[in-house]
Structure 1
Amino acid sequence: MNDMLGSTAAASDPVADATEKSRRSLLWLVLPLVALALAILWLLTTDPLRSFRNGAPPVENLTFERTILSSAGISVLVRAGGSEPMTVAQVQVDDAYWQFTQDPPGPIARGATAWIRLPFPWVLGEAHAINIVTNTGATFGHEIAVAVPTPARDSLSLFHQGVLGAFVGLVPVAIGLMFYPALRGVGQGGMNFLLALTVGLLAFLFVDALEDALELAGEAAALFQGHVMVVLAATASFLLLMAVGRRHGAPAGLALATFIALGIGLHNLGEGLAIGAAFASGAAGLGTFLVIGFTLHNITEGIGIAAPILKKRPPLAAFVGLALLAGGPAVIGLWIGSLAFAPQWSALALAIGAGAILQVIVEVSFFLMRSSGTGLRALVAPGAMAGLAAGVGFMFLTAMLVKI
């Protein structure tokens, strides 16, 4: 009898059953991977596609990602996106063939990059056209609209770019936060107006960031699937920040202000990338009026950050941190954009910023409904609608000063 009981207990041992189940699961996980590996091996060894080859050249695609103009000539960074490795055979500048060096040399694999260096005596302020000819005869063109020296990596140029980034992003946010003491005396109606104004300015930034991200994505190499990348990055950013923000319930007060500053900061990072790249490439000249326009355009961002903390008394360090979080990325973006710009990474930064801004729009809207005590009716109240219109309208009008 004891032997029979022992045998039954051993047969129904839960640990052994779990181990056996794990082994079966692992087997069913490995089996499809083995089948895939065998299929690829067969495809490579037997080459069944040879009957479809009719002598036509492979599909080729070349994207220009960066241009550097210096005393040594012109250097362009290109990325291959064809079905086969590409070989650069000749390079034309202004319809004349020029000697060139390639780094690294040899065929450029799909997704890989290479520097093409030309000892071309470019002319300051002039336009130049570059054509790259591959060994199959395909040509890929790139235009330098205005030839200007690419900023050098030295402390002086970085300092000047930092000053510009501060005026574009940091100074206006700090000025907007300085309205905090004057706004603390507003009643519930004024509070609802300011929160709705925050939603309005964030809604404008969301549309603006998404539009710029999609435009830059169209300039990136096809293999990055730019438009899909933008949608996926924005969605992932939104969902991730929603999950983080809701760990301890709906954010309010300083936590909500921090999320607003983060969303604006990510937007300013992408904006700084685009500005730095435009000025470095000579696509735009910098004027005092343009800097003033950026300052006016971004002042409302500071007011929006201050709105959720009007009934609190945060320490001075909190305001400094919020200003740096929202405006500081503009400095970083301008540095990166002027020295190492690539359209796909700028599009990615703007997409992440758009997702973060959408998360803040949702949270500020919920905060408005909770703080007013009237639920959904708070969003369509006259004061809220006026604030929403004021936020969008101010951002739209001031954007007219900075669009070039």
Structure 2
Amino acid sequence: MRLGKSGKVWVWALGPLLILTVIITLITKVGSGVEEQQAAPIEVIDIERITLLDEGFEVTILNSGPEEVTIAQVVVDDAFWNATFDPSPTLDRFDRAKIAIPYPWVEGDPHEIRLITSNGIIFAGEVAAAMKTPEPDANRFMQYALIGFYVGIVPVGLGLLWYPLLRRFSIRGMQAVLAFTVGLLVFLVIDTMQEGLELGAEAPNVFQGTGLVWIGAILSFLFLLAVDQSGNNKNKDKNSNQHGIAYKIAAGIGLHNFGEGLAIGAAFAAGEAALGTFLIIGFTLHNVTEGVGIAAPLLNAKPKWNVFASLALIAGAPAILGTWTGGFIFNDTLAALFFGIGAGAILQVVYVISKMILRESQRIQIPAVSWFNFLGITLGIAVMYATALLVNF
């Protein structure tokens, strides 16, 4: 039977893949052919979450190492303790298990939990200050939603109320406001990447959390850039373009505010109510200036009130989702990826606004990097840095 031209193409396309599959299968089944005695077992257990219940601790663990691991003993505060495992104390690679430890923890006290494998390797987790972990219920959901509303939607909306004042500026003043927006967003990019890299470092090494931050940032930047460029020829209306940029800024800031909600929810879930309250105050003050940045591209347009309402919702509502996620289902790996995506989205908005400033400067024959614009960028960074101090200190 003779193959046609298309059949030969498929043979050449699939042949190397089939050969590669056979080779990998042989290596997996037979081995590499190099016989060496392993010096020590390679075991890696990640303690993903410690939940405090009335009856004791519930520890969620992940085997992220290359070999099977068996938890032989559990030690709490230097004392061996009985524990039950769901589904089993033996975990294959990438298996998860929950360990129920009936321990009479003391509210406000620190506790240490150590897991000893059958090979004698120890993995430890700490509870800085014991407090019962909040359980998902309607009341708690509403409380977290209210926190996200205060932190996200309210301050962004207050910032948008400065729109009538901003419209009174001259052309150079409007350029400076756009530059101020660039300064705000540059700070947010740096801050978001830093937060993501810190979370990535805490994630299980096998998932390469810090790499996920960079991958998320690059791909989201390129994806949004492709979407923007594909729509350039379809959308020639200047007013619609200004609205589009404002919505992009709101979406990028929304992803950043999702991260702020994560921090607040995680603080309350860990029993650090004082830290959570402090974060609420700091982030609320910090986010007022974001409304100014969202309004800046609309200075030459005449948006209706519903546009401002939707912008405040897009930029602020993710704080509610972040607070729920941080309080109930926080995951370092996914959080690192979300931060990376947020940073890429914000960076793409910086690129778009910078092009807008350059194009408008060429049209009215003024320098793109004038002293007004330079001061606007500097002031934007300085304002965000100053308000961030309220969160960090």
Range class of TM-score, shorter chain = over 0.9
Quote how far apart the aligned CAs of 1:287 are.
6.6
Equivalent in the alignment of 1:37? 21
State the Cα RMSD in Å.
2.1
Q: 1:346 to 1:284 in 2, by over 3 A?
A: farther
1:163 to 124, 146, 149: 146
Matching residue of 1:23: 7
Residues 161-200 of structure 1 correspond to what in structure 2 (within 5 A)? 161-200=144-183
Aligned to 1:133: 116
Change (3 A) 1:206 1:216: same
- Deviation of 1:284 after TM superposition, in Å, equals 5.5
Aligned twin of 1:226: 209
Kept in 2: contact 1:252–1:367 (CA 8 A): no
Q: Normalising by structure 1, report the TM-score.
A: 0.90
- AA matched with 1:116: I
2:80 paired residue number? 97
Q: Distance in 1 between matches of 2:343 and 2:146?
A: 25
The letter for the 2-side match of 1:68 is: T
Query: Residue 346 of structure 1 corresponds to which residue in structure 2?
Result: 335
Give how far 1:48 is off. 5.1
- Residue 165 of structure 1 deviates from its aligned partner by 1.0
CA deviation vs aligned residue, 1:43-67 (integer Å, no higher than 9, x gap): 344345573234x443111112222
Alignment partner of 1:364 out of 353, 359, 366: 353
Asked if 2 retains the 8 angstrom alpha-carbon contact of 1:197 and 1:390, the reply is yes
User: 1:149 is paired with a residue of what secondary structure?
Assistant: coil
1:144 is aligned to 127
Provide the residue aligned with 1:75 in structure 2. 58
| Contact 2:264–2:323 (Cα < 8 Å) also in 1 | yes
**Cα pair distance change 1:157/1:286, threshold 3 Å:** farther
Task: Spell out the pairing of 1:292-311 with structure 2 (5 A cutoff).
Answer: 292-311=281-300
1:264 equivalent to 2:247? Answer no
Aligned CA distance change for structure 1 residues 288 and 132 (closer, same or farther; 3 Å):
closer
Q: 1-side partners of 2:374 and 2:135: how far apart?
A: 49
Gap change, CA 1:376 and 1:214, over 3 Å in 2: farther
- Cα 1:332/1:85, change in 2 over 3 Å: same
2:79 maps to a residue whose letter is A
Q: 1:64 aligns with which of 39, 47, 66?
A: 47
Distance in 1 of aligned mates of 2:332 and 2:134: 18
Whole-angstrom distance in 2 between the partners of 1:377 and 1:122: 67
Give the structure 2 partner of residue 112 of structure 1.
Answer: 95
Between stretches 277-286 and 372-381, larger displacement belongs to: 372-381
Kindly tell me: are residues 372 and 110 of structure 1, through their superposed partners in 2, closer, same or farther at Cα, counting changes over 3 Å?
A: same
1:375-390 paired onto structure 2 within 5 Å? 378-390=367-379
Bigger radius of gyration: 1
Query: Amino acid of the residue matched to residue 27 of structure 1?
Result: V
Cα distance between partner residues in 1 of 2:150 and 2:258: 14
Which structure 2 residue ranges, 5 or more long, are not aligned?
none
Which is further off, 236-245 or 104-113?
104-113
Q: What is the CA distance between 1:30 and its match in structure 2?
A: 2.0
Query: Against the structure 1 CA distance between its residues 84 and 289, is the aligned structure 2 distance closer, same or farther, given a 3 Å change threshold?
Result: closer
Q: Distance in 1 between matches of 2:385 and 2:365?
A: 26
Taking structure 2 as the reference length, the TM-score comes to 0.93
**Separation in structure 2 between the aligned mates of residue 190 and residue 28 of structure 1, nearest angstrom:** 62
Kept in 2: contact 1:254–1:309 (CA 8 A)? yes
Counterpart of 2:176, as a letter, is: F
**Letter matched to residue 255 of structure 1:** G
The aligned amino acid for 1:101 is T
Contact 2:68 2:91 in 1 (8 A): yes
Q: Relative to 1, partners in 2 of residues 1:135 and 1:309: Cα closer, same or farther, differing over 3 Å? A: same
Which amino acid letter does the alignment assign opposite residue 271 of structure 1? E
Is the CA contact 2:256–2:339 (under 8 Å) kept in the aligned structure 1? yes
